[in-house]
Amino acid sequence: MEIVTLTYKRLPDRVNHFQQELLYLDDDVIVTSQRVKPSAPIVQGGETVLGDNFAVVWFVFTGLWYDVGKVYNLENEWTGYYCDIMKPVKRRVDVAGKLECFEITDLFLDLWINPDGTYEVQDEDEFEAAIQNGAIDAELESRARDVLKSLIAEVEDGHLESRLQKVFNSAQFPDLQDYAAKLP
C-alpha cells in the first residue's frame, strides 16, 4: 500500500504529522487508515469504543467541513464512527498529480456515532476553551456549530451512511473489517 502524510493542525498552533495508508483517492474523497492513540478514550455504555491502537479507516471528503473515521477495536469489531468538525481538506499533489500529503485543521468539536445510530457530541469543553482564548473567532465558531448541526441531521436522516456507502461502492472495497485486522 501507498503511504501518505496527514498534516493535522489544531488551533492556534499545534501541528502533527501522521503517516497513513492510502486506500482510495478520487476528486471527492481521500480514504486512509491507521492505528490511533487518542488523547482520551471514548466510552459508551461502559465499553471503550475508541482507544489506543484501535484501527480507523478515515474518509476525508473534499469541500466538506468534517471527516468520518470508521473505528474497529482491538478484537476487530466495528464500534462506531468518529467525526471531526474541521476546515475543508487541503491536498498537495506532485507534478504527476500524485497525492503527496493532505492537511486538515481540526475545530475541536467531534461527533461519536454508535452502530445503532445514536450519537454524542464530544469535546465541547475544548471548543469553548478555544473560543475563550481566541483560537476560534466568532465566524469560525458559528460555522463549526452549523456544520455540527448539519452533520447530526445527516446522521438522523441516513444521509451520512449513504455517503459512505457510495464511497464503498466506488472504491470496491473488500470487507473493511478484514482489512482493519491486518493493520500493523
Beta-bridged to residue 11, according to DSSP, are none
Return d(Cα 155, Cα 157) in angstroms, integer. 6
Q: What is the pTM for the complete model shown?
A: 0.91
Average pLDDT of the residues of the chain: 92
What is the rounded average pLDDT of the residues 150-156? Answer: 97
* C-alpha cell at position 4: 501518505
* C-alpha cell at position 55: 484501527
pLDDT attached to residue 171: 80
Of 17-21, 140-144, 166-170, least confident by mean pLDDT is 166-170
pLDDT attached to residue 96: 79
Residue 117 lies in domain = 2-181
pLDDT attached to residue 52: 96
* Number of domains the chain is built from: 1
pLDDT of residue 28 exceeding 80, the answer is yes
C-alpha distances in Å from residue 19, one per residue of 5, 8, 33, 50, 126: 5, 11, 9, 19, 25
CATH number of the domain encompassing residue 129: 2.40.380.10
53, 37 in Cβ contact below 8 A?
A: yes
